[in-house]
Structure 1
Amino acid sequence: MKEPFIATEQINQAFRDLETRPTPAILQALVEDQLRAVEAVQRALPQLVDAVEQAAERMNAGGRLIYVGAGTSGRLGQLDASELPPTFSWPRERAVACVAGGREALWRAVEGAEDDLEAGKRDLLALHPTHHDVVIAIAASGTTPYPLGAVGAAREVGALTIGIANNPQTPLVQQSQIGIVLETGPEVISGSTRLKAGTAQKIALNAFSSALMVRLGKVYGNLMVDVQATNAKLLARAVRLTVAATGASEAQAKAALEACEYRVKTAIVMIEKGLDAPAAQALLNRVDGNVRRALAVGP
């Protein structure tokens, strides 16, 4: 079988003199090359749309987002998973990550871990995946054994598999039900896919998970109304969001938030519908936490 061409590992001839350039020119080269990351994600928008819509169906059925990767790709998956609970009040147990080499690999490279196909299978199966889950496997090369092992195990149990790679026609893209190619080409520093390949992955993951949360009713308009207000900055943000959503005064917004443990959605419904906190929360529960639908319910 013919080996796929891995463009991300090729030597970029345009920068063979990189270390001889002055610092401003080195930085200019590195920054300008990042623009290709945005272009790569834009080309992949149709596949991202498919991923969001299919994932939403699984999440509505109670499924989990399971990110899988090695090295930079694994860390980016872990980052996306860890940011969903505070940003959207997404349950922590429903956004998890498998990183080749385990938790230690989040801050220190674990040599050889990415080459273990069986470990990818074991780590995924240890989470007891079901057909409601969505497995997002990430690898710049598209050939890394660890995420490939996880994809194989996920497909056996009927989970939705999304493969994100920076090279086309690679096993990760071909073996996943939805293959997302972020074709970024060779790096300024040859083979260092933490550069624009990693940037493209970060953009794609941000866009995927954020759009998914919008589809799941975690946003009202463009307001982050499911934020967990756990510090002074976020408490102030909750007040601003409530004011923006309702037109209430800052004092009214703060009073409503204090009455409902700073749940922005509940405060919005309280103010707009003239309800107390328990009644507003009960109404939200009836409509799966969707603010717009709650506000549309008649008196």
Structure 2
Amino acid sequence: MERTTEKDSHYNNLEQMPVSEILKNINKEDHSVADAVAEALPQIEKLVEITAEKMKNGGRLFYIGAGTSGRLGVVDASECPPTFGVPFDMVVGLIAGGDGAIRKAVEFAEDDMTQAWRDLSVYQVSERDVVVGIAASGTTPYVIGGLRKANEKNIVTGCIVCNTGSPVAAEAKYPVEVITGPEFVTGSTRMKAGTAQKLVLNMLSTAVMIQLGRIKGNKMVDMQLTNNKLVDRGTRMVMNYTGLNETAAAELLMKYGSVRRAVEVHMQGE
């Protein structure tokens, strides 16, 4: 396969560029990412639909990846409970090398073809679930092995890659290929490829959660009230839905712990 993510940058002599030129050129390259994601929307739609279907029936979503890709999966998974009020183990991000690899690279962890399945097995992954491999290159053994084993167990598999015709995409039943091309710094897939993966992950988890009823109108009515900013936001939402004043809305919100529950109780009492 041809790895466009590894092709030489369109720019050279980067160390001689003025800072203004470095920034302008990185920004120019970044502009192309959204267009690349747009090309993959039909693939993303299929992955969203099957994931939502599985999760409506009690399934979970697992991300597996290494390096930047693994970290992005962990980030997306970790943001689902506070944003959508789902259990912490409903969306799970697994990274080659374990949680320590989130902060510090673990040498050769991504080269183990069997470790991803061992990591998934801790969660007793089953046919009810969905496993999505994240790999910019599309060649990461950790991801290939995990998807292959999941397929053997008749588990729905998907992927987010940034090259065409990759081994990872070949293993995934629902592949998403976002072709971002050469990086500004040759091979540095934390840049455009990482941005593309983040955009797709945003789409996947958000669209699935909307399908699961975790958004009302355009509001995060199930968000966790973990700081004053979110309590203030929740209070305003309760005020908008119920017509209560700020003090009454805040009291109702704190009593019931979520915007959804506070509004439901208020409406039932009217």
Letter of the 1:252 counterpart: A
Other-structure match for 2:44:
48
8 Å Cα contact 1:124/1:154 also seen in 2: no
Query: C-alpha displacement at 1:259, in angstroms?
Result: 3.0
CA distance, structure 1, for counterparts of residue 255 and residue 73 of structure 2: 36
For residue 30 of structure 2, the aligned residue among 24, 28, 34 is: 34
For residue 259 of structure 2, the aligned residue among 244, 261, 264 is: 264
Aligned-partner SS, 1:15: coil
Letter of the 2:8 counterpart: I
8 Å Cα contact 1:121/1:152 also seen in 2: no
Query: C-alpha displacement at 1:23, in angstroms?
Result: 0.4
Residue 198 in 1 paired to residue 194 in 2? yes
Other-structure match for 1:85:
81
Letter of the 2:260 counterpart: K
Larger relative contact order (C-alpha < 8 A, sep ≥ 6)?
A: 2
Query: C-alpha displacement at 1:248, in angstroms?
Result: 3.2
Other-structure match for 1:112:
108
Other-structure match for 2:146:
150
Aligned-partner SS, 2:89: helix
Other-structure match for 2:269:
274
Other-structure match for 1:6:
3
Residue 99 in 1 paired to residue 95 in 2? yes
- In the superposition, the TM-score normalised over structure 1's length comes to 0.87
CA distance, structure 1, for counterparts of residue 164 and residue 41 of structure 2: 15
Letter of the 1:162 counterpart: G
Structure 1 pair 259/151, CA: closer, same or farther in 2 (3 Å)? same
RMSD: 1.3
Other-structure match for 1:160:
156
Q: 109-118 or 194-203: which moved more?
A: 109-118
Q: 47-56 or 198-207: which moved more?
A: 47-56
Aligned-partner SS, 1:137: strand
Determine which structure has more spread, i.e. the larger CA radius of gyration: 1
Report the number of matched residues.
270
Q: Percent identity?
A: 43
CA distance, structure 2, for counterparts of residue 40 and residue 198 of structure 1: 13
Provide structure 2 residue ranges, at least 5 long, that are not aligned to the other structure.
none
8 Å Cα contact 1:129/1:157 also seen in 2: no
For residue 187 of structure 1, the aligned residue among 154, 169, 183 is: 183
CA distance, structure 1, for counterparts of residue 185 and residue 46 of structure 2: 33
